[in-house]
């Protein structure tokens, strides 16, 4: 059974502060890692698709890093804004499979 662990499960951050959270996944047979943002009453929306060890990706104030050898990815949000409030999901794909295995997500709340 593949397990994808995300921590923390929930997080409250003051507006303007920076924050980060973690996705841990099996380090063997790595194929790809996806990050999604899921706002309440909306659809999950892709942030990043990461494939190479050492990958760093950035979209505005959000960035992500990937370490496939030790099996973790970090998502960073710089200068949090209220619109960043959402659940952030990571999903892992093993070689030979075509399915995303999701973690439970980190629920982020930005306090004004």
Partner 1 sequence: ETGVTQTPRHLVMGMTNKKSLKCEQHLGHNAMYWYKQSAKKPLELMFVYNFKEQTENNSVPSRFSPECPNSSHLFLHLHTLQPEDSALYLCASSQEPTGRQTEAFFGQGTRLTVV
Q: Could you tell me the smallest distance in angstroms from the CB atom of residue 16 to partner 1?
A: 29
Nearer residue to partner 1 within complex by CB, 13 or 49: 49
CB 95, CB 30: distance < 8 Å:
yes
Question: Which one of residues 1, 43, 70, 112 is an interface residue with partner 1 (CB under 8 A)?
Answer: 43
Give residues 84-103 in contact with partner 1 (rule: CB under 8 A). Answer: 89, 91, 93, 98-103
Nearer residue to partner 1 within complex by CB, 80 or 88: 88
Question: Which one of residues 32, 63, 65, 78 is an interface residue with partner 1 (CB under 8 A)?
Answer: 32
Residues that bind partner 1 (CB under 8 A): 4, 31-32, 34, 36, 41-46, 49, 51, 89, 91, 93, 98-105
């Amino acid at each position: 059974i593949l397990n994808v662990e995300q921590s923390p499960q929930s997080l409250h951050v003051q507006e303007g502060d920076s924050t980060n959270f973690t996705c841990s996944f099996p380090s063997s047979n790595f194929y790809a890692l996806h990050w999604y943002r899921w706002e309440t009453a909306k659809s999950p929306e892709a942030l990043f698709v990461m494939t190479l060890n050492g990958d760093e990706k950035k979209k505005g104030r959000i960035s992500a890093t990937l370490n496939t050898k030790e099996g973790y990815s970090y998502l960073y949000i710089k200068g949090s804004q209220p619109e960043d409030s959402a659940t952030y999901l990571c999903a892992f794909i093993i070689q030979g499979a075509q399915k995303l295995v999701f973690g439970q997500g980190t629920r982020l709340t930005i306090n004004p």
